[in-house]
A and B are shown apart, each in its own frame.
Chain A
Amino acid sequence: MALLEISHADIIYQTEKSETEAVRDLTLSVDEGEFIALVGPSGCGKTTLLSMIAGLLAPTNGTVAIDGTPVVASSGNVGYMLQRDNLFEWRTIESNVLLGLSVQKKLNDESRKYALDMLDKYGLGEFKAAYPTQLSGGMRQRAALIRTLAFKPRLLLLDEPFSAVDFQTRMTVCDDVHSIIKHEKKTAVLVTHDIAEAVSMADRIVVLTARPATVKTVFDIDIDAPTPLKRRENPRFSYWFDRVWKEVTL
């Protein structure tokens, strides 16, 4: 059974002025350990889709299930990483990383150790007592990822997590995040408008149509390289970039 199962989901937004159909009859399943990227024309409702998967927004029709049970935000099954790192400036890195655990009342010696070990493992050990403003953009993003992983979500949602980082850092952060996710054997859904980023990171790319969003094409990316940077150097990279780009713009 797939980890995430979206079946025939519609999302219709109601506002005072109008009714907007953001998602129409979207069916998608993600297997355990997969890295999926959702790409599509801007404003196609990618973020709405992520809110739905995170259990923050119920589909108007259809179902969203993780491990066969409908999602709710309070389950702690989904870790949501947003565009900006959203670290709390008044908390130390350690206490930021433990935020999810304390919200979900799962903070104990074992879970604390798990989170702090990750800080050590991914090069932030010496910054436990530091405050977010003392860290570089790349380090902040890593801390935000560890915060998301700390409560062991079944599924990781990444909403353009690199868009707020400057270009040079972006490549390395991309590599960092990818390796951490693979290392922790997490299942991830990435939303991005950057096709190169999608091709360099994902096992599978789902191209969405313009609003109302639905699945247009699914590509299995077969680039044999371990990291996003290595993938970018692979000759197959430009082939896939081209195909995805054409599919998005067509």
Chain B
Amino acid sequence: MKTNKGLPCRMTKVKTPRQTYLAKRRNDKIIVILLRIGVLAFFIGLWELAAELGWIDPFITSCPSRIAKTLSEIDMADLFTHIAYTLIECIIGFFVASGLGILIAVLLWRFTRLRRVLEPYIVVLNALPKIALGPIIIIWVGAGAQAIIVMTVLICIIVTVISVLNGFMSVDEGKILLLRSMGATRFQILTKLIIPANVPALVNMLKINVGLAWVGTIMGEYLVSTAGLGYLIIYGSQVFKMDLVMASTVVLCILATVMYLAVAGVERLTKKRYHID
């Protein structure tokens, strides 16, 4: 009786290999997430503790509680103005650089002679640290948001042109031949093949540009600005308010992450749409 009853009961508890595998996968995921949060908590805790116990001087290093205090005491309207400045400069720079970069890549793809003429210039411009052009930009376009946008565009655009053109040039020759044999024009080859074939590369380029646009904007703000998060950071360091510097950096960190996640979302959508594995 006992064994008869017990057996089926125990049977249902035995997991199939599939269930075991899935459970293991789920556990792995949970552990990784917990560890990630743990690392952050440990870092913040250690920082706070070190400041509290006097191992480090919070006047120089700041600490989490002082950052939180600074953020809570800061004039919100003021903070949002700074955020708005930086965000608008960054987004305009990002879109102008991406759009213009793609346009230039299309022209260079279409006109072989133009590409051959401009090749060395692109190489030199790519090698040049764009920040060196800062003073020139300020003199030419004036000190202000426009100079920061130009800086952002300069930093992003060369890489955009090079990587997009590279993608355009590496489209399968067989597919081009196929379209040509159908009597396709250069424009049709561009719209029906080159651009759709490069959608993954274009999205990837956007991902890289998000990071570069932030570099350009903050560097631009370091050079010349009266508002923005880069301005807050520079201002904070000049008056030695490390709490302000750190608080601005934290805000910047959050904004950059949000923008990156937005582009990553676009990537997921295009992957679905274009059936890329």
Contact = CB atoms under 8 A, between A and B. Distances in A.
A70 to B, nearest CB: 14
Interface string A24-57: 0000000000000000000000000000001110
B197 A90 contact: yes
B174 to A, nearest CB: 5
How many interface residues does chain A have, given as a range?
20 to 34
A103 B176 CA distance: 13
B275 interface: yes
Contacts of A84: 174
A86 B180 contact: no
A89 interface: yes
Contacts of A151: 182
Contact of A73 (B172, B174, B180, B197): B180
Given A103-B192, A131-B275, A86 B172 contact: yes
Contacts of A56: 177, 180-181
A221 interface: no
Q: Is the interface of A mostly helix, strand, loop or mixed?
A: loop
Contact of A80 (B178, B196, B275): B178
B20 interface: no
Nearest to B178: A86
Given A84-B174, A90-B197, A73 B275 contact: no
Interface in A65-85: 72-76, 78-80, 82-84
Contact of B275 (A74, A89, A103): A89
A146 interface: no
A103 B179 CA distance: 8
Interface string B179-222: 11111100010001100110100000000000000000000000
Contacts of A78: 181
Contacts of B196: 88, 90-91
Interface of B: 172, 174-175, 177-184, 188, 192-193, 196-197, 199, 274-277
